Structure 1
Amino acid sequence: MITVNRHTLSNGLRIVHAQDNTTQMVALNLLYDVGARDEDPEHTGFAHLFEHLMFGGSINVPDYDTPVQNAGGENNAWTNNDITNYYITLPRQNIETGFWLESDRMLSLDFNPRSLEVQRHVVIEEFKQRNLNQPYGDASHLLRALAYKVHPYQWPTIGKEISHIANATPEEVQAFFFRFYAPDNAILAVTGHITFEETVALAEKWFGPIPRRNVPPRSLPAEPPQTEERRLTVERNVPVDALYMAFHICGRRHPDYYAFDMLSDLLSSGRSSRFIQHLVQEKQVFTAIDAYISGSIDDGLFHIVGKPAAGVTLEEAEKAVWQELASLTNESIEAEELEKVKNRYESEQIFNNLNYLNVATNLAYFELIEKAEDINHEVEKYRAVTTRQIKEAALKTFVHENCSILYYKAKAENNC
């Protein structure tokens, strides 16, 4: 059981804390409630750009990394469609360096033109390498645009297209920062060898003077239910064909989320999972196949991705997937099969929360979706899922009118 302490500054910054004296290190995890879903459809990729810009110098600290290294620390960041997350770990005696650095870039970035150009170039090169020049790199763009017609999940974190970042003006970038990177739009999780009293004192000292920015409430269009099957076929310079299927499911806060998460494990996690056992090993329809959920805060997607074996068409591969999905609702799910998945999740959860940095990251996220203390009850929620819930989830979800299908074909000269 992780003991969680909490404090909220007058400017709205929420602080959650868990002490762990088994380490001499401290972790600060700063979660901003902003992701790709908060971007203008004509100005996408900004949240990911800021993941980089936040390391390009703040108003009083021209270089973020050097003080971190001098203090014996490490740091990194990541962005998705829902959140932007920064973390720093430091020896306990140097932890004030972390509060100083994080608070200064929350106060304001430097916004010098050179930093913007440097990070703009980095992001554009990443876009090219990951999404344009890598096999299957644009699959996420294609599938999201197929599955979502209204909600901003219709583009990935990297953005819709390079031009949105290439043409971003300093004024647009600055406006995005002051709208979202604010104390009243952030959660600071602090874990490791530090008391709650020390944490509050340092937070008040460094973050307290930053003014509240009155971040406007999020108001995103809800994706309407999909009522007909959607299909897209593309040809690319890739080694083999690939099948992508996406079904709409609930969001992260919905009780059914746990059933869908376990359903994905039943299908493709481990050698004894259904897809691997039946479609890879026995029938040899696929050389590889995976099922996973997006885990997004708003209504997400259940993904199935596979590469058919030599001589198997995408049509045949898709038919085999539908047959396997039908068996979930037509046949019984053995208690032992479900128990295996629950045991795997429980062991992963316990192992994950042994690390003070993982705890900081998880505390911040659970505080965002409801409350940090829920970190102690996740295993119970998975344990409570029944075979009936899983079958009901499969029955209502795995239907043709709820499915978007992408045939990603190798060009003829590559498929010989």
Structure 2
Amino acid sequence: EKWFGPIPKREVPQRHLPKEPMQTKQKRLRVERNVPADLLLMAFHMPERSHSDYYAYDLLSDILSNGKSSLLYQRLVKEQKKFSDIGAYVMGSIDPGLIIISGRLNRSVSLQDGEAAVWDVLNEIKRTGIADTTLQKVKNRYETAEQLSLMTVLNKAMKLAFAAHLGDINLVNTESKLYRAVTTDAIQRVAKEAFRIENSTVLEYKAKPITA
């Protein structure tokens, strides 16, 4: 009874967290630390996990940084050699969250040049969009990862619990369709909404000079 008896139902307190005001201008911070390389962090506000646009934002982050054929890696690591490593990801939080770009710069590249190069890639997506084949590639990767994750009972249980927490337990069965429904127009639209200077927060993490 102690270990396997029923758990009494209880009232779960409602969270009433204050909503962050809309950001109207860029925020910046520069710090110097004993780190091996300069690091650039760029964060942009995006909707919450239950928002219909979440899936476009998630796929947009994959287009930017999922794999060595991704836009940021191809352009800024392989071609321009400005970064040694760069990635993008969404927080996926229940409350309104962030899409974050994080990259370590090569020693010969300044933080200003690195940031400008990132903006060039982001503005290109806003201006010209992406190819259908690019979007389909990240959708295929999502589907593969999703099916593999459902092979274990633990992952199934975690997905069910999170879907229930979001208020739609059937999301476990329908979420793949929501990802498949994302269009190239939706990707370009959310890129225009997110990748604005006034919607950004930038952290320049500067490596201290090496002293003898």
TM-score range, shorter chain: over 0.9
2:122 is equivalent to residue 322 of structure 1: no
| Higher RCO (C-alpha 8 Å, min separation 6) | 2
2:3 is equivalent to residue 206 of structure 1: no
Residue 206 of structure 1: how far off its partner (Å): 2.1
Counterpart-to-counterpart distance in 2, 1:383 and 1:303? 23
Letter in 2 for 1:267: L
Corresponding residue of 2:171: 374
Select 1:271's aligned residue among 68, 74, 82.
Answer: 68
Check conservation: 2:129, 2:187, Cα contact below 8 A: no
Matched residue count = 212
Residue 309 of structure 1: how far off its partner (Å): 1.2
Listed one character per residue, the Cα deviations across residues 101-127 of structure 1 (whole Å, up to 9, x for unaligned) are 4xxxxxxxxxxxxxxxxxxxxxxxxxx
Q: Give 3-state SS (helix, strand or coil) of 1:233's partner.
A: strand
Residue 211 of structure 1: how far off its partner (Å): 5.8
Letter in 1 for 2:34: N
Residue 372 of structure 1: how far off its partner (Å): 1.9
Counterpart-to-counterpart distance in 2, 1:361 and 1:228? 38
Letter in 2 for 1:386: T
Residue 378 of structure 1: how far off its partner (Å): 1.2
Corresponding residue of 1:73: none
Corresponding residue of 2:133: 336
Corresponding residue of 1:285: 82
With the length of structure 1 as denominator, give the TM-score of the two structures.
0.50
Listed one character per residue, the Cα deviations across residues 344-384 of structure 1 (whole Å, up to 9, x for unaligned) are 00111111111111101111011100222210111110000
Listed one character per residue, the Cα deviations across residues 299-321 of structure 1 (whole Å, up to 9, x for unaligned) are 00110000111200000000000
Listed one character per residue, the Cα deviations across residues 280-300 of structure 1 (whole Å, up to 9, x for unaligned) are 001111110000001100000
Q: What does 1:18-167 align with in structure 2 at a 5 Å threshold?
A: 100-101=2-3
Counterpart-to-counterpart distance in 2, 1:352 and 1:322? 34
Counterpart-to-counterpart distance in 2, 1:332 and 1:265? 14
Q: Give 3-state SS (helix, strand or coil) of 1:412's partner.
A: coil
Select 1:412's aligned residue among 195, 202, 209.
Answer: 209
Check conservation: 1:100, 1:206, Cα contact below 8 A: no
Corresponding residue of 2:33: 236
Unpaired runs of 5+ residues, structure 2, are none
Residue 342 of structure 1: how far off its partner (Å): 0.4
Q: Give 3-state SS (helix, strand or coil) of 1:345's partner.
A: helix
Counterpart-to-counterpart distance in 1, 2:209 and 2:103? 19
Letter in 1 for 2:6: W
Counterpart-to-counterpart distance in 2, 1:211 and 1:308? 52
Check conservation: 1:247, 1:303, Cα contact below 8 A: yes
Check conservation: 1:237, 1:410, Cα contact below 8 A: yes
Letter in 2 for 1:377: T
In structure 2, relative to structure 1, the CA distance for the partners of 1:290 and 1:100 (3 Å cut) is farther
* RMSD value, Cα: 1.5
Check conservation: 2:129, 2:185, Cα contact below 8 A: no
Residue 215 of structure 1: how far off its partner (Å): 3.6
2:21 is equivalent to residue 224 of structure 1: yes
Residue 234 of structure 1: how far off its partner (Å): 0.5
2:111 is equivalent to residue 311 of structure 1: no
Corresponding residue of 2:193: 396
Which of the two has higher C-alpha Rg?
1
Letter in 2 for 1:357: L
Corresponding residue of 2:160: 363
Listed one character per residue, the Cα deviations across residues 195-249 of structure 1 (whole Å, up to 9, x for unaligned) are xxxxxxx6xx421xx362x343221101111000000000111111100010000
Counterpart-to-counterpart distance in 2, 1:377 and 1:348? 16
Q: Give 3-state SS (helix, strand or coil) of 1:284's partner.
A: coil
Select 1:301's aligned residue among 98, 115, 118.
Answer: 98
2:47 is equivalent to residue 250 of structure 1: yes
Q: Give 3-state SS (helix, strand or coil) of 1:262's partner.
A: helix
% identical equivalent positions: 44
